[in-house]
Every structure is written in C-alpha cells, then in structure tokens.
Structure 1
Amino acid sequence: MATDIKKLFEALTQHQAYLYRASSKTVNELLALFNDDTSKMLSKLRDLLDELNESEKVALAGGKYTTSNLREIRDLIAQWFASVNLALPEAFAVSA
C-alpha cells in the first residue's frame, strides 16, 4: 500500500513538472511574439516622434491627431494593438 502511494506521488510529481515545463515554454513563446511585434512598433514610433515639431508634440500630448504625422502615429499604435490582439490569442489557442 505504501509503495503504491509512493509510486502515485512520484507520477503526480513528474506530471506536475511536465506541466510546468510546457506552460513555461508557452509563456516564453507568447512573450517572444509580443516582444517582437512591440520592438518593431517602437522602432517605427521612435522615428515618427523624432520628426514631430514642437506644436505637434503639444497636440500629441493632448491626444489631438491634427496632422498627417500625428495620424500616422495613431495608426501605427492601432495597427500594433490589432496585431497583438490577434496574434497572441491565436498563439495561445494553438498551445492550449
């Protein structure tokens, strides 16, 4: 009886270790996907922000997208959000 309990305990412990490894791998894959999309967006965003003049910076701080440069920034962020919002749930669904 004690041997059976010990075997069951060892099997459950091993199963838990496999689950932990699998979940860690999935989380790392999701983070890599997120980080890749985000770093690409931030690189483009940095370039766009460098092109802004002072009045555009003030408008951006106020949430006003009144010029083509500001609308391009808004669109870039929206595209990034849509990309992440689509890619992460899809990747998670595949891993589940």
Structure 2
Amino acid sequence: MLPEDVIRVEEYCLKYMIEETFVFSLEEYGLIELVVVEESKCIPLHQLQAIEKFSNLYYELNINLDGIDAISHLLQKIETMQVEIKQLKNQLSLYESPS
C-alpha cells in the first residue's frame, strides 16, 4: 500500500493523459524528484504543481525540455531576486524618516 503523500507515475499519467517518459525526463533534467515506493516510481504530492506547470509548457506551448529547463532556471532567479528586493526595501525603510 502506498503512502498518502505519493502517487504512482503511471496512475498520474493515465489520469492526466501525459507520457510517462515526459515525467521521467523531467526527473533526468533535475526539474522534479521522484521516489521509489514498492518498486514503483512515484511522484510526491508536493511535486504535482511543478509537473502540471511543466506539462502545460510542453504540451500546450510546444516548448522542449531544454526550453523548460531554461525557463525554470530563470523563474527561480526571479523569485530569489524578488525576495532580495523585499529584504532590501525592509532594510531601507528603517533608515527613512517619517514624513
């Protein structure tokens, strides 16, 4: 019996009509992490949002895996910079005089 926090790759792919090889390719590119439970490759539930985002890019926008990898990297950099900007704004607000 599988833990509640994973779903088998084959079940997910059947339900959402995507290729298993696509999911395995995402893992090879390091875009998602799969786990092995009872000798089956499984998707942790916290990875489902990422797989959905990547499958939309792949199937609906026809972006190949190299493009998805580049987009993912750029989005991570943007998120990091947004956090840094927020921290810098908070630090700057300490030095601003009240009007």
TM-score computed with the length of structure 1 as normaliser: 0.34
Which protein shows a greater Rg?
1
Q: Which has the higher contact order (CA 8 A, sep 6+)?
A: 1
- Structure with more helix by fraction: 1
